[in-house]
Amino acid sequence: IMATARMKKIFSFVFVIFTLLFGCCSATVYKVGDSDGWTAKDHLYYHWTEDKEIHVGDSLIFEYDHNLNDVTQVSGGLEYEFCDSSFPKAVYNTGHDVVTFTEPGSYYFITSNHTQCTSGQRLGVFVVHDPSSPSPLPLPSKIIPSRHVYKVGDSKSWGVYDSDFYYNWSKEKQFNVGDGLLFEYNNEVNGVYEISGDLEFLNCDPTSPIAVHKTGHDIIKLTKPGVHYFISSEPGHCGAGLKLQVVVGTTLNVPKLSPLERLTRW
């Protein structure tokens, strides 16, 4: 009898733990457009998002006829605004697409059918951390090995020169994950905006930056492969050519050394 009572207590304790772990952090799945689904209807998705707070871990379901349509995720607000699907982050076309958010931030979805997109078939959502769970701690910087730090513009630093100066500066360099960029400038008249998309870069649009740097001595570590965009915080400076685009590759493989080789390297 005592053993049975002890087992009941153990099962009750396990049940409470599972409830605390999973019950408090349950994610929400939203069907985009509700009964309308994913379709061309002016202002539908603006009103659909008005009363929703979407958290990390939540998901969107897009339902539509995959023979006629798709879901294209784009990088930034300008691609969304102009229905530009030229450089998509992702394309979904199953007709029943589930997109789960793993990071906070702004997300933009359009259809690649330009006519339908301009008729209202586009969705922008802002994703926040789940308030019931703690924000993730930043990863220690040593997880990404420190590699080479490039001083942007070399001796000329971050300033206004000819329009191709930073294009020519970057094109001969090979940037990898773990490398860093050092921006040096007068922070009373300038700054550095990291932005997300090609159109924002071309149009010097600073309205939705990923990050803002303005110390005058900014070291930015390149933590992800792909294209990274930086523009001056001053629109006139950016328009005159003060902007930088770098393509970042994966970290180069480090050869594994035997214990004897490691000893002889010291």
Give me the pLDDT at residue 219, please. Answer: 85
Give me the pLDDT at residue 3, please. Answer: 53
Residues 175, 248: contact at Cβ < 8 Å? yes
Q: Return d(Cα 173, Cα 167) in angstroms, integer.
A: 11
Query: Which residues are within 8 A (CB) of 174 and not within 5 positions of it... i.e. 6 or more apart?
Result: 249
- Report strand pairing: 54-55 vs 122-128: parallel
Tens digit of each residue's pLDDT (9 = 90 or more) over 79-118: 888 899 988 889 999 999 999 999 888 899 999 999 999 9
Residues 114, 121: contact at Cβ < 8 Å? no
Residue 12: enclosing H or E segment and its boundaries?
helix 2-18
- Confidence grade of residue 211 (pLDDT, cut at 50, 70, 90): confident
**What DSSP string describes 59-103?**
EEEEE--TTT--EEEESSHHHHHTT--SS-SEEE-SSEEEEE--S
Find where tokens 């493989």 sit. 253
C-alpha dihedral (165, 166, 168, 174), degrees to nearest 10: 160
Query: Which of the residue ranges 144-148, 152-156, 223-227 would you say has the lowest mean pLDDT?
Result: 144-148
- Confidence grade of residue 252 (pLDDT, cut at 50, 70, 90): very low
Give me the pLDDT at residue 229, please. Answer: 94
Tens digit of each residue's pLDDT (9 = 90 or more) over 30-51: 999 999 999 999 889 989 998 8
State yes or no: pLDDT of 255 exceeds 60. no
Give me the pLDDT at residue 78, please. Answer: 79
**What DSSP string describes 93-159?**
-SSEEEEE--S-EEEEEE-S-HHHHHTT-EEEEEEE--TTSPPPPPPPGGGS----EEETTGGG-S-
Q: What is the pTM of this model?
A: 0.48
Tens digit of each residue's pLDDT (9 = 90 or more) over 109-140: 999 999 999 999 999 998 887 666 554 444 44
- Confidence grade of residue 209 (pLDDT, cut at 50, 70, 90): confident
